[in-house]
């Protein structure tokens, strides 16, 4: 039976409408109240002429406006673009134009950049707490549950990828994708109706939006946090009796660092899920000492979120792995040339299957055809599966350095160099070399006033790695180029290397 993802909010409202499902500062909304807001938003969209297949952009932090807009749009088949509010004006202009968003839902905090962009984007309608009508006016309207004209494989969400190698691509996710992701999450890790989930991962990231849908699906209560601050997070955890949350490694690091100062009561916390990049072992072990298990997730936007999970109940000691596939998902590793499935222990490209595989790139069919072959997503990540079925992600395929015919994984070198006490940040790329084809070059940010030389870095890598893998060139920089979600822009480093 094909479903509309908006129907899960309606069903939850019918099942337990008087339960508080959303907490934002002093505001508490029941599932029924949120569903009513979503229906009112659906009605508003129809009034201004939007219909199934049209797009809106949601430029909001983690708040009730974003939730109402997403579910309300989904109910009538209008696609939502969850916009990264950390982007600059030029980057926003590209996404708002490329997505052809006819309406922009936004927080007042973004009014200035919206005014700056109005003459260059196709939107004709804007909605905020200060517009006419405003959020409050729309929420007060009475509206019935709309007819679902968009279901199943129909796309309903556009998530723009981070664009580390060029312009971001708009990944199209369907109702079924989002439903399958929710089922995969809630049937793989310990997710409960009684949970109180701290929503601090931003909705513009699939790691923030997928938990939103899963919490509605399971009936858990969400406590919305618009901006991450570790001390405030600890205070909310204590005050709201938070049981679980979704984080990224940087958040975990700040939480661990500030826990002693916050002195919060953490007795309510059952676990903490973390992803977007490999979670360093000291963070997992540090939280383990506090009695809080960390669940490491390997996720991809084009897979509607989680691909695999590692959790302590699988194997307590394999926290260096990404665990095993989510329910209904498949993972295999193939030879990068022959595309044949490799035996356990052999390194190749990670190939992912299941109902979570996205349905297209907005206005880029060619890119989609190269990403999805025979229904499986070519992840672009390199890794292997061990004898126990645990996935290990080694590197991005495009970042593999081929030196003298040997494959060198930049991520492995970065992990080693990051352990040096005088290294703040590091990225490794392949620099062109006449003799070897490519050699590993490290771009290093030093600890201020540290007495660290290029030779020190090279010698350190030689002690830790095979000689053919060791760093051959070092460039010290003040900072590494990153995009709005913090990913290193290696294409810029490669451009710099080509000129040197």
Query: 125 in the Ramachandran plot: left (φ > 0), alpha (ψ -120 to 50) or beta?
Result: beta
Q: pLDDT at position 432, please?
A: 84
Contact status, residue 33 vs residue 240, Cβ threshold 8 Å: no
Residues 183 and 289 in one domain: yes
Alpha-carbon distance 380 to 377, whole Å? Answer: 9
Residue 453 CB neighbour total at 10 angstroms: 13
Residues 380 and 442 in one domain: no
Residues 379 and 415 in one domain: no
Residue 16 CB neighbour total at 10 angstroms: 15
Q: pLDDT at position 1, please?
A: 60
Rg (CA), the chain: 23
Residues 408 and 362 in one domain: no
Residues 49 and 171 in one domain: yes
Alpha-carbon distance 184 to 278, whole Å? Answer: 21
Alpha-carbon distance 8 to 151, whole Å? Answer: 12
| Number of independent structural domains in the chain | 2
Residues 33 and 134 in one domain: yes
367 assigned to some structural domain: yes
392 assigned to some structural domain: no
Q: pLDDT at position 46, please?
A: 97
60 assigned to some structural domain: yes
Residues 378 and 416 in one domain: no
Classified as helix, coil or strand, 27 is strand
Residues 206 and 297 in one domain: yes
393 assigned to some structural domain: no
**Nearest one of 78, 6, 8, 4 to 44, comparing CA atoms:** 78
Q: Mark the ranges of the chain whose per-residue pLDDT is less than 70.
A: 1, 163-166, 484-486, 497-500
Residue 416: domain span: 404-499
Q: Which of 385, 416, 447 is the last residue of a domain?
A: 385
Strand partners, 58: 82, 105
Residues 454 and 490 in one domain: yes
Q: Which residues of 169-195 are buried (b: 16+ CB within 10 A; e: fewer)?
A: bbbbbbbbbbbbbbbbbbebbebeeeb
Q: pLDDT at position 484, please?
A: 61
Residues 352 and 422 in one domain: no
Alpha-carbon distance 328 to 333, whole Å? Answer: 17
Q: What is the pTM of this model?
A: 0.87
399 assigned to some structural domain: no
Contact status, residue 214 vs residue 191, Cβ threshold 8 Å: yes
Q: pLDDT at position 168, please?
A: 86
Q: pLDDT at position 430, please?
A: 87
Q: pLDDT at position 485, please?
A: 61
Q: Which of 354, 385, 416 is the last residue of a domain?
A: 385
Alpha-carbon distance 312 to 249, whole Å? Answer: 17
Classified as helix, coil or strand, 38 is helix
Residues 114 and 210 in one domain: yes
**Nearest one of 393, 370, 372 to 381, comparing CA atoms:** 393
294 assigned to some structural domain: yes
494 assigned to some structural domain: yes
397 assigned to some structural domain: no
CATH number at residue 125: 3.40.50.12780
Residues 359 and 477 in one domain: no
Q: Which of 332, 357, 385 is the last residue of a domain?
A: 385
Q: Which are the contacts of 66, defined by CB distance < 8 A and separation ≥ 6?
A: 58, 60, 82, 105, 203
Alpha-carbon distance 58 to 60, whole Å? Answer: 6
CATH number at residue 444: 3.30.300.30
Q: pLDDT at position 286, please?
A: 92
């Amino acid at each position: 039976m094909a479903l509309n993802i908006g129907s899960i909010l309606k069903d939850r409202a019918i099942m337990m409408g008087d339960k508080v499902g959303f907490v934002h500062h002093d505001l508490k909304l029941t599932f029924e109240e949120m569903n009513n807001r979503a229906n009112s938003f659906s009605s508003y969209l129809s009034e201004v002429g939007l219909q199934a297949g049209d797009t809106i952009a949601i430029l909001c932090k983690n708040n009730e406006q974003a939730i109402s807009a997403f579910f309300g749009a989904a109910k009538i088949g209008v696609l939502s673009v969850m916009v990264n509010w950390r982007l600059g004006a030029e980057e926003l202009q590209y996404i708002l134009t490329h997505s052809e968003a006819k309406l922009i839902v936004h927080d007042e905090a973004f009014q200035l950049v919206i005014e700056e962009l109005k003459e260059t984007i196709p939107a004709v309608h804007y909605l905020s707490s200060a517009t006419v009508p405003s959020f409050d006016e729309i929420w007060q309207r009475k509206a019935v549950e709309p007819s679902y004209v968009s279901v199943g494989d129909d796309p309903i969400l556009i998530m723009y990828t981070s664009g580390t190698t060029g312009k971001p691509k708009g990944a199209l996710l369907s109702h079924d994708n989002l439903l399958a992701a929710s089922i995969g999450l809630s049937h793989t890790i310990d997710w409960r109706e009684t949970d109180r989930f701290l929503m601090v991962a931003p909705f513009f990231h699939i790691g923030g939006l997928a938990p939103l849908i899963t919490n509605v699906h399971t009936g858990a209560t969400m406590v919305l946090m618009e901006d991450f601050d570790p001390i405030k997070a600890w205070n909310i955890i204590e005050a709201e009796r938070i049981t679980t949350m979704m984080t990224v490694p940087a958040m975990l690091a700040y939480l661990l660092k500030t826990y002693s100062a916050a002195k919060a009561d953490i007795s309510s916390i059952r676990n903490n899920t973390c992803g977007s990049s490999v979670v360093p072992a000291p963070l997992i072990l540090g939280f383990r000492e506090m009695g809080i298990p960390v669940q490491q997730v390997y996720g991809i936007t084009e897979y509607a979120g989680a691909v695999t999970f590692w959790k302590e109940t699988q194997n307590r000691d394999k926290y260096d792995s990404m665990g095993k596939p989510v329910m209904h998902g498949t993972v295999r590793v193939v030879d990068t040339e022959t595309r044949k499935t490799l035996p356990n222990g052999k390194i190749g490209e990670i190939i992912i299957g299941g109902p979570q595989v996205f349905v297209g790139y907005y206005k880029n069919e060619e890119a989609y055809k190269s990403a999805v072959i025979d229904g499986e997503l070519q992840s672009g990540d390199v890794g292997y599966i061990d004898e126990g079925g645990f996935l290990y992600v080694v590197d991005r395929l495009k970042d593999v350095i081929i030196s003298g015919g040997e494959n060198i994984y930049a991520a492995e070198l970065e992990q080693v160099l990051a352990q040096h006490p005088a290294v703040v940040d590091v990225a490794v790329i392949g620099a062109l070399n006449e003799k070897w084809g490519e050699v590993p070059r490290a771009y290093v940010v030093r600890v201020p006033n540290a007495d660290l030389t290029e030779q020190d870095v090279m010698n350190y890598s030689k002690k830790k790695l095979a000689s053919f893998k060791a760093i051959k060139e070092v460039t010290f920089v003040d900072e590494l180029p990153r995009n709005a979600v913090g990913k290193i822009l290696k294409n810029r480093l490669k451009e710099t290397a080509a000129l040197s």
